[in-house]
Structure formats: structure tokens, C-alpha cells
Structure 1
Amino acid sequence: MNLPAAFEEKMKSLLGTEEYEDYLRCFDEPRYYGLRVNTAKISVKEFLKISPWPLEPVPWIRNGFYYDGESCHPARHPYYFAGLYYLQEPSAMTPADRLPISPGDRVLDVCAAPGGKATELGARLCGEGVLAANDLSSSRAKGLLKNLELFGIGNVLVLSEEPGKLIPYFREYFDKILIDAPCSGEGMFRKDRKMIRAWEEHGPEFFSKMQKSIVTQAAQMLRPGGMMLYSTCTFSPEENEQTVEYLLKEYPEFSLCEMEGYEGFCPGIADAALTPDAALEKTVRIFPHRMKGEGHFVALLKKGDVGPACEEFPPVRTYERRQYKKPLPEELSDFLKLVRRPLDPSRIDIRAERAYYMPEDLPDLSGVRFLRTGLLLGELKKNRFEPSQALAMNLKKEEFANTVDLSADDGRVIRYLKGETLDLSDLVSQKEKGWYLVCVDGYPLGFGKLGGQTLKNKYLPGWRWQSV
């Protein structure tokens, strides 16, 4: 393993010569593969009953597991397409796990793509409150949106803005904020050797300036009493303890909190700050030679009472829903009769022939670049309504009147995921027709429209199973 000389010297200083040798030896070990259960769809206990592969618990993550990445291929199984789990490096599961989320919270994931943290935050909201998931890159935000929809998360805003632009819309709005900041990636060198070349092009100093800007912008969007978690996948003190130190100096109302521990966690390094501070030992460092995962840094902070200057900020403008002055379109009303879940008609918003089910108590988002606000119910077309893939994933089997439930080993599941028409003559009578929710072992995959005993496939083309 050819590591940059400057990096080696820094790590020797950070760890000491003897422990640095232990760190080097971890590069001869295989990387670890992780799977995180989507508890919004299935409990850990129930998933372990149906898991097609042997799993080993990640001991510090309640719903995290290791799997053998050489022999198992979870991304090529129908359960993946049902959104029952997310594939994520085990240490990277830590930030979202350690940010305390309660149903009903307003939550912001500042740098959210591709969705590893946002999907867990959304799952723990249990459909209540709102998750705002932001990524500056619009192309990455598209992947983020897909992962959130796959997980069945509907109370969502997917934004693509520079975080500073969000402040006027969300000042002191959020209860919880997660910042998994762009970083130099030193903790990922073993997992992805290309990160070494990227480090040589843009090292810690480049990212440190960006991180300080992001944390101070996010601080203004957190309500007093709210909690913020800052994390990186690097070892650099400039990007870790010193970034936290900068936030505490700029916003002294913030304080560091203790986190739920684990025997492999290392405390943050008080002397790594420009001004040594014992409180920084409340932060957590994860080293790959001490735990079965890659490198990470995590800091949990709480915002106390704000100063008088903050009271001068204008209040956040409330979103005024563009409600219909007349009943909902008949084709939409007829379809919603199939949905066995109470829906508040005042939260249905129709824009450009698309119907959305909006989260409650949103600010006015006029002028913000976003990919999605709320749950896309579907599209109003000439004399008909086409339900969305997002709605299918948001529903549970028992929440839709008509369902087709296939076992994972039924060949029709893969044919459905490929977009093919299905023969259901063994499951339905010729008199049955209309919209059906297609499920695998009781978990929704998407919609189809039945005519006779043939199901016309409505699985979203961009999500379809690709042959290897």
C-alpha cells in the first residue's frame, strides 16, 4: 500500500509509531460489507427470518449487519427492490444511528446524497414530521430521491441548493440536523484506493474551509434546544476537532454531548484543537484497526438558548397550500378509494397535473431549487389517474384494496422487475380488473393494471432490473 508521505507522518503523529503499524496492517485485511434494515418496512426480527444470506450483527448499530460481499449479492435480490434494506459500509451507519430522532421531528440532512444517512433518518420518523434532504449536486440529488422513494419515505423535501441559500427559508426551523460533510476521505483509503489520488489533489485544507462554512450555515437553521450531528470519513484534525472547535467559537450557545458508546470507539483528541479542550473528548473517532469498519469521526452537539441578536431575524414564512376551490378531480378521488389509509384532503396539492401529499407545517419554498416536495401520488392524465412508483413504495400491502403477492422464488417477480407483462391466471378471475399493488412476500414492489387475467406492467422504467 503506497500511502502519501505527508499522510503517513500525520498518522504516526496521531496514533504513535507502534499503533501506526497496527493501522498499516489493516490494509492487508478485506473490507467489510454492511446491510442496514429498513425498519419503516420490516422489523429486524422479521427480516432475520426471511434473510436469504447469513448475517452478523454490527454490534454498535441496532439494525446493521455484516454480510459476505464475495459470495452474497443483496443488490440482485427482489427484497432490495422492495426497499427492505440499504447497502452501507458499517462505520458509515454510525452518524444517522447516533442522532436521536423522534417521530414528528423536523430533520435536515445537509449533504445527503446518495442517501445512506437520509434513508435511516426518514425511516425513524415513521411517516411523521418532515425530512429535508439536500445535496448541492442536482445529478447526485436524483440518486438521493430514488433511494428515499425506494425506502418508502413520503414526508420528504429533496432539495439541491448551497446550504447558505436555505437559511432564509428554514431559520431555526429544524429539530435535528445531520452534516456528513464533504471531506478528504482518509478513512476510506482501504475501501477505495482511488481516494488516495483524490487526497493528493484536494487535501484537508481544501475541505476544512468548506466544512466550516457548512456547519455555521446549518447552525442558523437549528432551533434552540435542537441537536446537530457532524461527521466525516477522515482522520484529519483540521476537518474534525478543529471544525467543531470553530463552530463552538462562532456559536457559543452550542455544546458537545455524550454519545452512546461502544468498546471500539476512541474519544476525540483534545490536543488536536488549536486551543486544547477536554470537551472534544466527547466526540468519537473510529479507526479501522480497532473496529470492523472504515475510518470515521462523529460529534453530537446541542443548541442552547440563542442570543438577543437572533431575535431580530424575520420569522419563516409559512407555505400556503394551493388548494383546489372545488372537489378533487374525479379520477383521483376514484383511485384514492382503493387506498386504505386516512388521507387529509387539505394536504393534497396539485401542480402541473401531478398530485402530491404534502408534509405539514412547511415553510414557503418559493425560489428554492428542489426535486420533490412531499409524496408524489401520481399524474392526472386525460380522463385517468396514473399512480406513482413512490406511492407504491410508501404503501403497505394491507393499505391497498387490490394486491398480487408473489413469493421471492416465483419467476414472475424478476419478470415484473424487468417490465414484462404477467400472466396471473392462477391468481385472479377474469372478472377482476383495475389497479393492483404487486408485492413480493407481502412487501410492495410497484403497480400493475389488470385486464382479464393479464397484468400490464407499470413498474417505473428507470428502476427496472438490468441483466448482468
Structure 2
Amino acid sequence: MNERYFERMRAQLSDFAAYRACLSQPPYRGIRVNTLKISPDAFREIAPFALAPAAWEPNGFLISEEKPGKYFYHDAGLYYVQEPSAMCAVPLLGARPGERVLDLCAAPGGKGTQIAQAMEGKGLLVLNEKMPDRAKVLLQNVERMGVANAVVTCAEPSELAARLPAFFDRILVDAPCSGEGMLRKEPAAAENWSEENVFMCAERQKKILESAVSMLAPGGTLVYSTCTFAPEEDEETADWLARAFPELTCTEQKKIYPHRERGEGHFAARFIKEDGERAAFRAPKLPADRAAVAAYRAFAGDFLRRPPEGTFASFGSSLCLLPGEVFPLGGLRVLRCGLQLGTMEGRRFVPAHALALGVPRQDIAALCNYPQEDIARYLHGEELPAAGLRGWCAVAYEGWPLGLGKSSASMKNHYPKGLRRP
């Protein structure tokens, strides 16, 4: 580790020796149970590893399992692997069902899906990530976790700010940072650390926050968070924000260190914008292809016991069920708007992977359970034995859908190629 880093931390911490000693210890690991699908109590009954409560999130748990992503419950979206202290920011945000909420730097999706749980599938959740490759990972996690009320965008913060002034009730800025809270988890973070990068990150964070403040409605809540310890990126940036925007009041700050609490390290600050009159907003009407809607309804009559309700919209050949409200999307790169139901291939409706994971499992009529060895084959992309049903089925493990298959003489595998296990 760069000696300059330790000089900075020594000046910052009265108990520096304890901090330095803790760096040789294993990192804390955690998961967050996905309450869009299962309660924490119900998950405890089936959990394949021991759980201990995390301090910052009632649905969060500390674990000792080194590879929690290897279990099929993870593929089914029953939990998200998340560093424990990273769970602290979203409770500060206080998102509620029916609100307009933005996660401005959302990849890979830990905090965004945590917000989705707080919203209980109601309202508008915009999850933005400006890096295309990271935005794809974000979308994969949104679909796995069964989030149906999200618009996933790939845009610069300034692009969104130009379209949505004073629009959101709550905004999270989990800003790109120097990652000093990742040193035990990711050795590359130590190798890449430099004081110059700290200064560069602080300037970039301010630009992102400027866009965020312009999108925050009067009376709204903004939470700024990082996974670093650098004062330039944490307290000093929070102080700058309060000075630069006097309409904001900082109401709470948290700073977590790995030698003091059971987490790798995080900073979060909450700001409230002074109240005022909100501008009127008229949501656009998005067209839906009638043939696609009819084909979906015919499919859903066999596949689903109770189709989800809402407004349809077409995006090219794709048919989606919109969130509670939308905003003008033209010119933006939108990866997903609501729940993708499927696509039209000629006159055929082909259901989307997201549909199998995005509706309550009890609402799926064509659900085919397979034993562990067959599920392992399915996740590798192999065909399975026919399940006694014909046509489209949700392939499930212990009643939890993992994806789609199409059954005839055998169960043809429709698990997305980009998600398949090696």
C-alpha cells in the first residue's frame, strides 16, 4: 500500500494502529434479502449459510460464506450480495411507495434494488449508469431481483438534469470514488490508490451533485454516499454542497470504518431541500403495438394465473408494462422501461426472461420444478427432460423461478446466454 495513504489515515484516525491492523483481517461479507420475493424470516428457513443481522438494514445480514453467489437462490433473486456497510445509505434516503426516486450512479445495482424494496414496486424508480458495460450489469441485477417499476438509463447526469428539473422526491448519489473502503475486498484498489485520484474524484463528485440538486424537487431528500475515507470526497464535499446550495440542509452524516464497526467502510450524508411549490408535470403517452398486446394476452392466458396490471408500451419489437408514471424518453439511451413482457418475432410473442422473475411466483401457472442436478445443467445452458407440459414454462428450483424454457419432447433452454454459468 502507498505509504502516503497511511500518512493520511494516521492524521485522520486517533486509533490508526487498530485500523492498520484490521487490514490484514478478512473482509466483512453480507447479503440483503429481497423482500420483493421473500421475507427475511422465510429466507432464514431455507438459507444455505448462517446469517447474522447487519447493523444498517433490517433485511441485511452478515455472512461468512465466501461464495454466496453460487447458490440457486441467488440466481432466483432471493438475495443480493452486498457489503454490509454499503447498506447504510438507502435507509437515510427514506424512499416510500408511490414516489419518484433516482439513483444517479446506480451500477451494479445494490443500492438501487434496495430502494426498489423500500418502494414495494409502487412509484417511479430511475436507475442511471453512464458507462454502457456497467449499465448492462445493472439491468441484469434489476431483472434478477424482480424490479418491475424501474426505468434503467445510460446517460450522463447532465443529460437527465436537462430533462427533469425539480422532478424527483428523493435522489441517491452513490458517487464514483477512490474506493478506500474496498482495500480488503479488492486488492487492486490498494494498487491503484493515489492522492491525485482522490482530488480528481472530489471534483467529479461535485459535478454529479450539481446535476442531482437541479433534479431534486422542493422538500425532497438527497443522499450522497461513497465507499472511501478521504475527507476531500466525504466531509469536505458534503460541506461544499451545503455552501454551494443554501436551499439544502444537511440533517445527518454517517462514517463507517472497518476497525470500529462490522463493515468495510462507507460515508453517507443526507440533505433536505427547502420546501416550495412543485411544477406541474404531464406524463407522455407511449404507444403500444396492438398486435403485440393481443399476442401477449393470448400467451398470458396459459402462462399466468393472474397477469400483472398496468399500461403497455412498445419499444421497437419489445413490449413492456410501464411503471406508475414515465417521463419523456426520446433521445435518451433507455435499457428498460418497467417490466419487459416479451418481444414480437414476426407474429409470434416470445416471453422475456424478466417476466419469469418479475411476477409473483404464485401467479405463474406454467411453472416446472426441477431437482438440483437439472437446475445446474439449466444454468449452464443445457436442455432438460420434458416436464409434462407443452409450450413455455418457468423453470424453477423449489418453486422459485430462474428463467424460461419451452417444453415439447424436451425442455429447450431459454436462459439468457449472457447469464449462463461457465
Considering the TM-score relative to the shorter chain, is it more than 0.5? yes
What's the CA shift for 1:177?
0.8
Among 166, 171, 192, which residue is 2:165 paired with? 171
Count of aligned pairs between the two proteins? 421
> For 1:421 and 1:342, how far apart are their aligned partners in 2?
27
Q: Is the 8 A contact 1:397 1:443 kept in 2?
A: yes
Q: Percent identity?
A: 39
Change (3 A) 1:383 1:342: closer
Q: Does 1:77 align with 2:71?
A: yes
Among 319, 327, 330, which residue is 1:366 paired with? 330
> For 1:24 and 1:297, how far apart are their aligned partners in 2?
19
Segments of 5+ residues of structure 2 without an aligned counterpart are: none
> For 1:344 and 1:54, how far apart are their aligned partners in 2?
38
Q: How does 1:106-121 map to 2 (within 5 A)?
A: 106-121=100-115
Among 276, 285, 291, which residue is 1:320 paired with? 285
What's the CA shift for 1:85?
0.9
What's the CA shift for 1:447?
1.5
> For 2:10 and 2:417, how far apart are their aligned partners in 1?
51
> For 1:237 and 1:306, how far apart are their aligned partners in 2?
32
Among 14, 24, 29, which residue is 2:12 paired with? 14
Tell me what 1:463 maps to: 419
How much is the aligned-residue C-alpha RMSD, in angstroms? 2.0
Tell me what 2:229 maps to: 235
What's the CA shift for 1:321?
1.1
Tell me what 1:63 maps to: 59
Q: Does 1:35 align with 2:31?
A: yes
What's the CA shift for 1:13?
2.1
Three-state SS of the structure 2 residue aligned to 1:439 is strand
Segments of 5+ residues of structure 1 without an aligned counterpart are: 258-281
Change (3 A) 1:29 1:329: closer
Change (3 A) 1:138 1:304: same
Tell me what 2:214 maps to: 220
> For 2:384 and 2:191, how far apart are their aligned partners in 1?
49
Q: Is the 8 A contact 2:293 2:319 kept in 1?
A: no
Q: Does 1:298 align with 2:297?
A: no
Normalised to the residue count of structure 1, the TM-score between the two structures is 0.85
Tell me what 2:259 maps to: 289
Three-state SS of the structure 2 residue aligned to 1:111 is coil
> For 2:107 and 2:309, how far apart are their aligned partners in 1?
30
Change (3 A) 1:397 1:15: same
Among 381, 385, 393, which residue is 1:423 paired with? 385
What's the CA shift for 1:328?
5.1
Three-state SS of the structure 2 residue aligned to 1:220 is helix
Q: Does 1:441 align with 2:398?
A: yes
> For 1:327 and 1:433, how far apart are their aligned partners in 2?
24
C-alpha distance after superposition, 1:163-206 (max 9, x if no partner)? 01111322111111111111112222232232133222743211
Q: How does 1:3-402 map to 2 (within 5 A)?
A: 3-5=2-4, 7-16=5-14, 19-70=15-66, 73-200=67-194, 202-257=196-251, 282-306=252-276, 318-324=283-289, 329-337=293-301, 338-344=303-309, 347-402=311-366
Change (3 A) 1:360 1:59: closer
> For 1:301 and 1:329, how far apart are their aligned partners in 2?
43
Choose 1 or 2 for highest CA Rg.
1
Tell me what 1:267 maps to: none
Three-state SS of the structure 2 residue aligned to 1:171 is coil
What's the CA shift for 1:404?
1.0
Q: Is the 8 A contact 1:332 1:380 kept in 2?
A: no
